[in-house]
């Protein structure tokens, strides 16, 4: 299923049409038939990538040998190089075109085309914290706290938390047995719990989405909108469904021996919702 997104006629979305609109966004293979990811392709000129908020090709994952000049910024412990509206990360003696850092705001009027509104497989009703905290977890925790504080259904969530606490032992037994222990749990809660269990088993952490809030997506970048007319770049929320992976995805094998799909620090898995195949955000890789 790793090549499910390589044919632009398979479940296209507006953002996928944009991210594949023009060279060099075609699938490439080596002599052994293995897909060549952008990070392993030829470097591109520094003036080639388009703005992350524009409809021109973004070229995420591609390498640039040099930049004529740049501004350097630190976001959540990471260094970014910014030139001509494009963000880069620097390693192995080259600049890599990357997505904008989590937490930045920008005017919604900058976006040249309409963004996709995300669908979700589930919404996590429980605010969770993590034993290990680094910059990435801090971002996720901050995002989850904001969601918990602003969620209009907090009272209902508290009731769900109480129900979860009462049935957690049965849920754990059900996870081992591969079937739900209680039919009284709603489908959303069961899906959320199962995803959390799997993410924990694989060493991933999850960011959450608030029910009733619109989330937006374009070429691997996830956004929320605020009343002031701005978008905010956020950590990809668990349960989010996209129809096609960005061009710079990689296939990875995790602790359970199964293949998943990685874009930046985010892990996706294949799933089916209402009979339609999607890539679902599972969680974030833990990195020190």
- pLDDT means per 10 residues, the chain with 288 residues, are 32 46 54 78 90 86 94 88 94 94 86 79 73 56 62 47 51 49 68 90 89 88 88 92 91 93 94 90 82
pLDDT of residue 252: 93
Are the beta carbons of 221 and 235 closer than 8 angstroms?
Answer: no
pLDDT of residue 128: 65
Q: Which two tokens stand for residue 254?
A: 């995790």
pTM score, whole prediction: 0.76
pLDDT of residue 139: 65
Rg of the chain, C-alpha, whole Å: 19
Q: Is 7 exposed, middle or buried (0-12, 13-18, 19+ CB in 10 A)?
A: exposed
pLDDT of residue 4: 34
Q: Which residue has the tokens 């350097």?
A: 72
Conformation bin of residue 161: beta by default, left when phi > 0, alpha when psi is -120 to 50: alpha
Distance CA 82, CA 75 (A): 12
pLDDT of residue 7: 31
pLDDT of residue 107: 86
């Amino acid at each position: 299923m790793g090549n499910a997104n390589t044919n632009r006629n398979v479940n296209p979305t507006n953002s996928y049409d944009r991210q594949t609109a023009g060279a060099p966004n075609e699938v490439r293979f080596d002599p052994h038939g293995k897909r060549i990811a952008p990070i392993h392709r030829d470097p591109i000129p520094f003036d080639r990538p388009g703005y992350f908020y524009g409809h021109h090709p973004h070229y995420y994952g591609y390498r640039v040998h040099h930049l004529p000049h740049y501004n350097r910024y630190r976001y959540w412990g990471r260094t970014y190089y910014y030139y001509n509206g494009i963000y880069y990360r620097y390693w192995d003696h080259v600049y890599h075109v990357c997505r904008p850092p989590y937490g930045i705001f920008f005017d919604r009027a900058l976006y040249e085309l309409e963004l996709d509104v995300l669908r979700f497989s589930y919404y996590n009703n429980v605010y969770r914290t993590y034993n290990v905290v680094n910059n990435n977890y801090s971002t996720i925790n901050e995002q989850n706290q904001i969601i918990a504080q602003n969620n209009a259904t907090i009272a209902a969530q508290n009731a769900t938390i109480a129900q979860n606490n009462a049935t957690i032992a049965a849920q754990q037994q059900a996870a081992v047995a591969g079937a739900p222990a209680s039919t009284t749990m709603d489908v959303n809660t069961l899906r959320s719990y199962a995803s959390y269990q799997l993410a924990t088993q694989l060493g991933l952490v999850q960011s959450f989405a608030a029910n009733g809030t619109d989330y937006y997506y374009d070429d691997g970048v996830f956004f929320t909108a605020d009343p002031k007319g701005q978008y905010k770049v956020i950590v990809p929320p668990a349960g989010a469904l996209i129809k096609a992976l960005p061009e710079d995805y990689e296939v990875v094998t995790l602790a359970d021996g199964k293949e998943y799909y990685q874009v930046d620090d985010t892990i996706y898995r294949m799933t089916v919702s209402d009979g339609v195949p999607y890539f679902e955000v599972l969680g974030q890789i833990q990195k020190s």
